[in-house]
Amino acid sequence: MKKESELPPRSQDEVSSVQLKRDDSFARLTLLVAALCFAAAAAHFFAAWYLHAWQYWFTGGLTILAGVGYLVIRGLLPLHRLALTRVLAWLIPYLLFPPMAFFWSNATLPLIAVVFVMQLFQGIVLYGRKRLPLILALALFGVVTVLVINAFPLWPRYDATGTWLSRLVLMIVPALAGLVILMAAIRGARRFRTIRTRLVVAFVVAVLLGAGVISVGSIVVTRQNTIDQAYTQLDAVVLLKEEMLNAWAANLYLDLDTMLVEEYEIDRARMLLSGTGADALVSEMRQSLRARLRRLVDQARRFDELFLIDPAGKVALSSDQAQEGKFFTYETYFQKGLQARYISPPTYAFSTGKVAIFVVQPIFDQDGSLLGVLGGRANMGALNDMMLRGAPLGQSGEVYLVGINHALLTELRIDRYAYLQNPGIDTVLQKQNSGQGEYEGRRGDPVLGVYKWLPDLKMALLVEMERAEVFQGTQQTLWVNVILAVGAAALAVVIANFFTQDISLALTELSDVATRIAGGEQGLVAKTDRADEIGMLARAFNSMTGQLRELIGGLERRVEERTQSLEAVAEVSRATTSVLDPEKLLPQVVTLVQEHFHLYYVGLFLVNENGDQAVLRAGTGEAGRQMMEHTWQLEIGGESMIGQCVATGRPGVRQTEGDIVVRFENPFLPQTRSELALPLRYGTQIIGAMTVQSVQESAFDKTSIALLQNMADQVAVAVENARLFTTTQQALARAYEVQRRYQAQAWEDYMSTRPVTGYELRANELQPLTEELLPDVRQMLRDRRPFVESGKLIVPIVQGDRIVGVLGFEGREGQTEWGAEEIALVQALSEQLLLAAENQRLLDQTQRSAARERTIGEVTGRVRQALDMQGVLRTAADELQQVLNLERVVVRMAPQDELDT
């Protein structure tokens, strides 16, 4: 087994394919993400309904599409369409997040972050780190897409940070991506090698996750409550200050109302404003009224100046004498004041160099005739004090008033500005309504602000608190939570380490025992002193190893038995194939089978010539002998096991098994408890059957039946071979006898045609021999073996078992003995001589046959050359006479009936 590092490097496709195929957690992850997408879509749709923002219908639709996409990925995984899966997985975040910029404003950064992180994460998971440049390029492309879409809004977009719900929905986007990555990270933790490490990591992750969820939840709730409380507080201050402003304005009117109450005062005012009366009297009246105005200014201190303006707009009287004689004919507050009570917007007063508010009202005489306008320039210091005083807004809280053109009408507690601009001021001045929001304050810090437009005063009231101060408590909660989470994680590590060490040690011991057992120490047992699951595992392990030991021992025994059986089969086969005589073979087969398989009885049946009976041809023991004497035969297809076995070609078994007792009827085999009938199959032919019987109950199982059947098949082959051998031998003997007779007849015929039948070579002279046989030759013919005597050697020429001639030799003078080699040489020579003589005979015979054929041909040719029947007959007669050297030839043509007679 090669280690992973030794294996040839696999392509990235293969690696990813293996990852995707092997790990079904990827499939579960896609299902989880799909479910999250649908949940997120529900949040979008809720936001669309709750906020009346159509944009969320579309973002919800996009999220639904993403969920469907992940379901499609889940469906693709079993199809192993890896490339398609990759493309789809890459497309989904791309189709989901950037298009949201079409519908959301102020969501650029979260969308960019999510697109970039998701594309980067998915790219690495799907394509591996080797393609990091490409992945980075694709991720950046996603970012650019968000920026492009954001730069060119096609329709009004919804402020994603405008409300708590929209912020929550916006947070779902990075939360979704974060959850996916977290799941992948937890999945990656499975790469830790030891259970202990995994358990510790799992403990810590669980604790951190729990603490994190609780912390985030508490922080979110706390923050939201804090914001709500802050806005409630700011609203209360706005309400308070508005009430104070209304009271202040009411008091201003009240002061004006009390200025000219008495009739004499009105007469004086009329006299002054109309300019009637003696100069001295008017002057006195003026001084008297001016003194009164000054007293009112000094006492109430709500006005810096009080004045009377005549209908032409000329200041007839003022508590500030320098203002008398001026004309306010075209001033708005004067013109308004001629008609009704009026309080002017904050207006710059050049006489004082400060912003002032003018409060005016018309004055009438007893007849209701308009005398002029009574007015005053309000004390802005009181207004300033009103804003600065009594606002429970912590260190950073500010309450201030802003004019139409962003001019700061009251002082700030902390800084000094003439003009002020922030989103809160812009909104309230632009829309001239009330509202609240979080925006950048005067020093660039985010503030929570509540603003209200005061239509009567034509100014805006703003109350602000710095966000940092508002969330100071939340910050502390956050830090406490972080510290608690870290502490809990550390504690989790310690506790997990403590518990997992115990588990890990026990498992390690068990692992060591298993390793040693695998190494061959099969007698080892694991400790079982624990009462927990590991103790149960150890006991189960010991039980398993015990069973394994027994199993291995049993297997070894069975292998040994099987080996012996196979050896017996081989022995039987070897022995049977070496015997070709069926009369010897069959008894030998049954004996060998009985001996090698320790059987009670073995019998062998062969099908008779009629094919209707299986005749016992061999049987072991006394029982076999007796049954042979009784010519034991069984009907094929009958009720007997052998008959059924031969008829069906399938083995049959009957045996006593436990309570199931089988009765065996054969009186010669009373001790049989198990019987097996095996067909003797030779090809498709059943030539007989073999019965094997045992005194043991349930002696034959499937394995032993198969084994014995295998042996029976080989026995069948041996039997059939022996039978075929015998048949062949008999055919050969018959052919040999025919040949011998033919050759003998041929030689007799041939020799009868020869004038000389023997030759003698003496002194290099060849002489024909007479027909009379020499005595020595007669002796040799009687003995049918070489004759050696007195230097003579006579060797028969034998053809088959017949002597067709002899070779005789007589040694030179003095040679009385013939050596064995010389005899053998002569015998060999005699064989060659016979062969040459046989060839010569055959040649002569052939030549004669050829001459006859030629003659027939020639005669036939000449006969055919005749032109008429008479010619034919004549030519035939002539030729036959000539060829056959006949004296008379008769050729006659006649009808059949004549010939018959």
Partner 1 sequence: MKRAALSHHRARPIFDRVIFALVRSLGVFLLLSVLLVVGLSACRRAPEVEKVTLRLSGPHSVEWAGLYAAQLEGYYAAENLDVTILPAADASSSADVLAGEADFGVMSGGDLLLARARSEPLVAVFAILRRSPLAVMALAENGIVQPRDLRSKRVGIVSADMRAVKDVQFLSLMEQVSVTLAELEAAPVGEEGIAPLVEQRVDAIAYAWATRDAMAAREAGYEVTLSYFFDYGVLEYPYVIFTDASTIARRPDLPARFVRATLAGYRHVLINPDRAAELTLSYDPSLNLEAQQAMWQALIPFIDTGDAPVGTMEEGVWQSTQWVFLNHGLLEAPVALNDLYTNQFVAQSGN
- Residues that bind partner 1 in the complex, under the rule CB under 8 A: 72, 75-76, 79, 81, 84, 87-88, 91, 94-95, 99, 145, 148-149, 151-152, 154, 313-314, 322, 325-332, 335, 344-348, 350-351, 353, 355, 403-407, 418-421, 426, 429-430, 458
- The CA distance from 258 to 392, in Å, is 35
| Minimum distance of partner 1 from residue 408's CB (angstroms) | 10
Which CB sits closer to partner 1, 421 or 790?
Answer: 421
Which CB sits closer to partner 1, 102 or 725?
Answer: 102
- The CA distance from 115 to 143, in Å, is 7
Q: Which residues partner with 834 through β-bridges?
A: none
Q: Could you tell me how far CA 422 lies from the centroid of its own chain?
A: 58
| Minimum distance of partner 1 from residue 405's CB (angstroms) | 5
Q: Are 649 and 624 in contact (CB under 8 A)?
A: no
| Minimum distance of partner 1 from residue 336's CB (angstroms) | 11
| Minimum distance of partner 1 from residue 723's CB (angstroms) | 59
Place of tokens 């073979």: 585
- The CA distance from 342 to 331, in Å, is 12
SS3 state of residue 108? helix
| Minimum distance of partner 1 from residue 99's CB (angstroms) | 7
| Minimum distance of partner 1 from residue 404's CB (angstroms) | 6
- The CA distance from 27 to 788, in Å, is 106
Residues 6+ apart with CB under 8 A from 509: 526, 527
Q: Are 601 and 667 in contact (CB under 8 A)?
A: no
Question: Residue 11 is encoded by which pair of tokens?
Answer: 């392509």
Residues in the chain, overall count: 901
Which CB sits closer to partner 1, 353 or 755?
Answer: 353
Q: In the 3-class helix/strand/coil scheme, how is 770-782 assigned residue by residue?
A: CCCCCHHHHHHHH
Which CB sits closer to partner 1, 401 or 593?
Answer: 401
Which CB sits closer to partner 1, 335 or 477?
Answer: 335
Show the beta-strand stretches assigned E in 564-611: 601-607
| Minimum distance of partner 1 from residue 403's CB (angstroms) | 5
- The CA distance from 18 to 23, in Å, is 8
Q: Are 436 and 231 in contact (CB under 8 A)?
A: yes
Q: Are strands 765-768 and 759-762 parallel, antiparallel or unpaired?
A: antiparallel
Which CB sits closer to partner 1, 459 or 607?
Answer: 459
Which CB sits closer to partner 1, 12 or 352?
Answer: 352
| Minimum distance of partner 1 from residue 357's CB (angstroms) | 9
Which CB sits closer to partner 1, 404 or 525?
Answer: 404
Which CB sits closer to partner 1, 346 or 587?
Answer: 346
| Minimum distance of partner 1 from residue 281's CB (angstroms) | 20
| Minimum distance of partner 1 from residue 95's CB (angstroms) | 6
| Minimum distance of partner 1 from residue 72's CB (angstroms) | 6
| Minimum distance of partner 1 from residue 39's CB (angstroms) | 23
Which CB sits closer to partner 1, 312 or 486?
Answer: 312
| Minimum distance of partner 1 from residue 393's CB (angstroms) | 24
| Minimum distance of partner 1 from residue 311's CB (angstroms) | 13
Q: Are 508 and 527 in contact (CB under 8 A)?
A: no
SS3 state of residue 103? coil
Which CB sits closer to partner 1, 422 or 674?
Answer: 422
Q: Are 81 and 144 in contact (CB under 8 A)?
A: no
Residue environment code for 272-286, b if the CB has 16+ CB neighbours within 10 A, otherwise e: bbbeebeeeebeebb
- The CA distance from 99 to 146, in Å, is 7
Which CB sits closer to partner 1, 301 or 431?
Answer: 431
CB atoms within 10 A of CB 779: 13
Q: Are strands 358-364 and 370-378 parallel, antiparallel or unpaired?
A: antiparallel
CB atoms within 10 A of CB 763: 5
SS3 state of residue 676? strand
- The CA distance from 308 to 261, in Å, is 14
| Minimum distance of partner 1 from residue 356's CB (angstroms) | 9
Which CB sits closer to partner 1, 398 or 469?
Answer: 398
- Angle value at C-alpha 690, between 687 and 696, nearest 5 degrees: 165
| Minimum distance of partner 1 from residue 145's CB (angstroms) | 7
Q: Are 180 and 121 in contact (CB under 8 A)?
A: yes
| Minimum distance of partner 1 from residue 31's CB (angstroms) | 17
- The CA distance from 96 to 91, in Å, is 8
Which CB sits closer to partner 1, 154 or 340?
Answer: 154
Question: Residue 108 is encoded by which pair of tokens?
Answer: 């650029």
Q: What is the DSSP letter of 340?
A: S
| Minimum distance of partner 1 from residue 421's CB (angstroms) | 5
Which CB sits closer to partner 1, 145 or 233?
Answer: 145
Which CB sits closer to partner 1, 215 or 379?
Answer: 379
CB atoms within 10 A of CB 731: 10
Own/partner contacts of 259-266, CB < 8 Å, gap of 24 or more, are: 259/292, 259/293, 259/296, 259/306, 259/374, 260/363, 260/374, 263/366, 265/289, 265/292, 266/363, 266/365, 266/366, 266/371
Q: Are strands 104-105 and 158-159 parallel, antiparallel or unpaired?
A: parallel
Q: Are strands 685-694 and 759-762 parallel, antiparallel or unpaired?
A: unpaired
Q: Are 321 and 280 in contact (CB under 8 A)?
A: no
Which CB sits closer to partner 1, 458 or 527?
Answer: 458
- The CA distance from 880 to 876, in Å, is 6
Q: Could you tell me how far CA 643 lies from the centroid of its own chain?
A: 58
Which CB sits closer to partner 1, 415 or 521?
Answer: 415
